[in-house]
Structures are given as structure tokens and as C-alpha cells.
Amino acid sequence: MPQTTPVLSVTQQKDIRIVEFVHNKILDEANIKDIGDTLNGLIEEKEYPKLLLDFSNVEHLSSAALGMLINANNRVKARNGQLRLTHIKPPIYEVFAITKLNKMFRILPTRQDALASFNP
């Protein structure tokens, strides 16, 4: 069943948008599309977008979710923005490592580390 509650929680710290995944699964195609659309909106609202994705709650994700994240990364890059990922649990990090996406994304252990890693 599609989830009806918001799939993302978005806050802001200085010029950085902090996006937290609300649910523990990023699997459902409809949810993935919603997340992708929201991220695209956040990317397009600034000339040089700065986005931090917090995976604290995420326990399962699929290759479709990875595709959505790659799409967001490509859009951020196209606008000379910055994207960071944080609080990725070890089993989920393993998915990034197997697919070598840990080389593509800037993944930092804590939110504090990630916030400090953004260039002005």
C-alpha cells in the first residue's frame, strides 16, 4: 500500500537544506518518485544548491532508490551545487559499496561532519 504520510522531513541550517527520510524503507515506486520530485524541487530553488540527505531512519532501499539518488546527484552537479549523505547504517552502506556508489557520493558519518564539509 502506498504510504500516505510525508516521506521526507526538510529543515534548513544556514544555506543548507537538510532532508531526512521519514520511513525505514525506500522501496515503493510511488514513494521514490515523490522523494525524487521533492529533491528536484529543492535542487532547482537555488542557483548553487546545498543538500544534506540524512539516512538515520533508512533500513532498506532498492536499486530504484539508488537511481533516484544518482539522478539528484547529477542535477546538483549540473548546477555546481553540493550534495552530502550522512548517517548511513552499515547494511545500507554495503549497498553503496557493492555498487561503487560510495565513490560517487560524499558520505560522512555524522550530520555535524557533513555540515562542516560544505564549501562556503
Interface ranges with other proteins (CB under 8 A): 1, 27-29, 60, 62-64, 66-68, 70-71, 73-74, 91, 94-95, 98-101, 103-104
Residue 1 or residue 47: which is nearer to other proteins going by CB? 1
Residues sharing a CB contact under 8 Å with residue 96, sequence separation 6 or more, in sequence order:
66, 88, 102, 105, 107
Residue 41 or residue 91: which is nearer to other proteins going by CB? 91
CA-to-CA separations, 94 to 13, 14, 98, 100, 103, in angstroms, rounded: 29, 31, 6, 9, 12
SS3 category, 9: strand
Residue 27 or residue 116: which is nearer to other proteins going by CB? 27
Q: Which three cell numbers stand for residue 97?
A: 559499496
Nearest distance from C-beta of residue 120 to other proteins, angstroms: 26
Nearest distance from C-beta of residue 59 to other proteins, angstroms: 8
Q: Which three cell numbers stand for residue 100?
A: 561503487
Nearest distance from C-beta of residue 82 to other proteins, angstroms: 17
